[in-house]
Amino acid sequence: MRKIVILLLAFLLLCPAPAAAAEAPQYIALAFEGCPEGEGGKLLLTGLAERNVRATFFLRAAPWERGQQILRGGHEIGLLAPDLSALSRREIHRELSAIRALLPGCRVGLLRSHGALSDGARQVAKAQGLSILESALDPWAEVSLGKTVLQRVKPGDVLLISGETKAALILNLVDILQNRGFSPVTVTELSRMDLTVRSFGAIIPPGDSKCKTQSKNN
């Protein structure tokens, strides 16, 4: 009997314990209105790459080199438009086309506007193959009882961050989110997942906004 007990103990010591089942990822999207200039932008993109995070950058313009740097990191680029509510359809078409021209080397399929979008603006966006990010969360905005939105983030949320925010602060936010089990992805990736995108992060309608890294000669 003693030999049996010893053998059982030896077996338990030698055999590793079964691994705990991995928790399912909690996906959210990170979206930026702009991208920091100079070293700040480089620090942000390097930090996101180190954390294996992909994000969406809504831009009004970007030098070819910066656009390609963003795309090489697995991110996507969308159009950041001014308030279009007072413009005619023809003017909206010209405005969006002008922004596209200032984003060389990238095929975009997402639109974010600072103003309310009229039916005409939506029709122009649809004609140009643009999905619309209607609304999103400011992760540092205060809500009732002094809590911030960051404390209430749930899977399916889209967090919208100003490009003027310091890179160190953004990366600290990413660390907090990842430590809480969230996996940040692009807006388009989130829209294609089999989950409910919460109303304040609505993407209408899901579209093809995959950006392609191109050679400078194209």
Over residues 21-55, the pLDDT tens digits come to 456 779 999 999 988 878 888 999 999 999 999 99
Tell whether 152 is covered by a domain: yes
What residues make up the domain containing 179?
25-204
Residue 214 belongs to some domain of the structure: no
In a domain, 12, yes or no: no
Q: How many Cα neighbours within 13 Å face the side chain of 132? A: 21
**The tokens 């990010």 sit on which residue?**
133
CA 140 to each of CA 28, 97, 126, 173: distance values in angstroms, whole numbers, following the listed order: 16, 33, 32, 10
Domain contains 211: no
- The verdict on residue 17 lying in a domain is no
* CATH code of the domain covering residue 191: 3.20.20.370
Q: Do the domain assignments include residue 172?
A: yes
The answer as to whether 142 is a domain residue is yes
Q: What is the pLDDT of residue 200?
A: 40
The answer to whether 206 and 134 have CB atoms below 8 angstroms apart is no
Q: Report which of 91, 136, 132 is spatially closest to residue 113, judged by C-alpha positions.
A: 132
Q: In this predicted structure, what is the pLDDT of residue 175?
A: 93
Chain centroid to CA 35: 13
Confidence of residue 7 (pLDDT cuts 50, 70, 90): very low
Mean pLDDT of 99-108: 87
Please tell me the distance from the alpha carbon of residue 11 to that of residue 89, in angstroms, as a whole number: 75
> So what's the pLDDT on residue 71?
92
Average pLDDT, the chain: 77
pTM above 0.75, yes or no: yes
Residue 199 neighbours by CB under 8 Å, 6+ apart: 135
* Domain count within the chain: 1
